[in-house]
Amino acid sequence: MSHRTLRSSFLLLLLVFAGCSGGGGDEAPVAAATIAPDGGAFEITAGKLAGVRVEIPAGAVLQPVRVTAAEARPSAHPGFRSISRAVHLRPDTAFLLPVLVTLPFPAAALSSNETVILQRSPTGAIVELAPDIVDPAGLATFAVRSLSTVWVAERLFLGVATEEFLSLEDGNTWTFENGLAATITMAFTEPNFGGLPVWRLQLDGPQQSLGLYLERHWSGATNLLGICSTDGNGFQQLHDAALLLPGHCTIGQGMLDAFPFTSYEPFGTETAANTGTTVVHLLPRLPTSLLTPVGEYTDLLRFEVVMTHWAPNGQAIGSTTLGLTFARYVGLVAVEAFGLAGELTGGMVGGVPIGP
């Protein structure tokens, strides 16, 4: 990696306190150096923070400034995975010019996901910074106007279409513990679809059922066109396409969507009973593994889905909560619905039985 050559004619004093003790890593510096107004570089060459470097250009400060570094802990930040130690750099006052900071990270931790710098402010807020240089050898360099607690992370991004996790094929079935089941059918006679075919994902429990109308977009996304139930008199709530499984998503970052719906009650009627708004909140996660009665799955995608329905007057008229865990090329391997939870016990996908 190349660095800018800074005009500096003085000897930097680098103090490394290898045996420094005391709690609260931000409290006790493990290294320090004084940088004059004509610029210079501060670098840690030994210890747990070896490789940390701060380059202050000439004119960034008007008086000599003492730069310190201390060990810190990364903060959990949805949608990101930390891949380096955190370091608390001071001073936290603003510089007149951008300062270059280099952080080390294990080269083996680098993946195809986007590499970012996470910066924690004194108030605890987390800010994402784009590195200027990412050296595959394990160094990330970025520019800042003030020092704080920083570390290297990667954005957890699902870079494949979710169609690999849910195959829309007529006759796909899954059975789960606690009497739960799911079925995919291509329906040709669903009311209020004008005779057009529509995919229906049917979730059944011991005493309740819920159907989700789906379409597969060319991008690989799976859109939700409405929900229905044939319990009792039944109903349909239909709306324009809304994302259920996005073609690509950032893991851990919730997605919120709101759209108007038209309700038809009882099920089968073609006269609208009422209208309202549905708010859908999706939270994608990547579980590490799932051991089910038919086997262990590791390539997983989980969605927590909350659909809240509101009347035009702003009154809440119902809410549906689902937990759906998918395994690539298998489909549903765990379901949470109707107050029950169950893991996969069997099924049929693409005409092939699921299981050993």
Least reliable range by pLDDT among 53-62, 117-126, 229-238: 117-126
Q: Which residues pair with 118 in a beta bridge?
A: 128, 151
- pLDDT at res. 283: 82
Q: Is the pLDDT of residue 31 over 90?
A: no
Q: Tokens at residue 249, please?
A: 């998503």
- pLDDT at res. 161: 58
Of the chain, the end-to-end C-alpha distance in Å amounts to 50
Task: Express each pLDDT in 246-267 by its tens digit.
Answer: 666 666 667 788 889 999 999 9
Q: Tokens at residue 114, please?
A: 């986007």
In order of 179, 180, 326, the CA distances from 341 in angstroms are: 9, 8, 14
Q: Tokens at residue 279, please?
A: 């708010």
Q: Is the pLDDT of residue 273 over 50?
A: yes
Task: Express each pLDDT in 136-153 by its tens digit.
Answer: 999 999 999 889 999 999
The third-level CATH classification (topology) of the domain covering 15-155 is: Chondroitinase Ac; Chain A, domain 3 (2.60.220)
Q: How far apart are CA 336 and CA 133, in angstroms?
A: 43
Percent of the chain whose pLDDT exceeds 90 = 53
Burial class (CB in 10 A: 0-12, 13-18, 19+), 190: buried
Backbone angles phi, psi at 162, to 5 degrees: -70, -5
Q: Would you place residue 13 in the very low, low, confident or very high pLDDT band (cuts 50, 70, 90)? A: very low
- pLDDT at res. 28: 64
- Domain segments of the chain: what residues? 15-155, 162-351
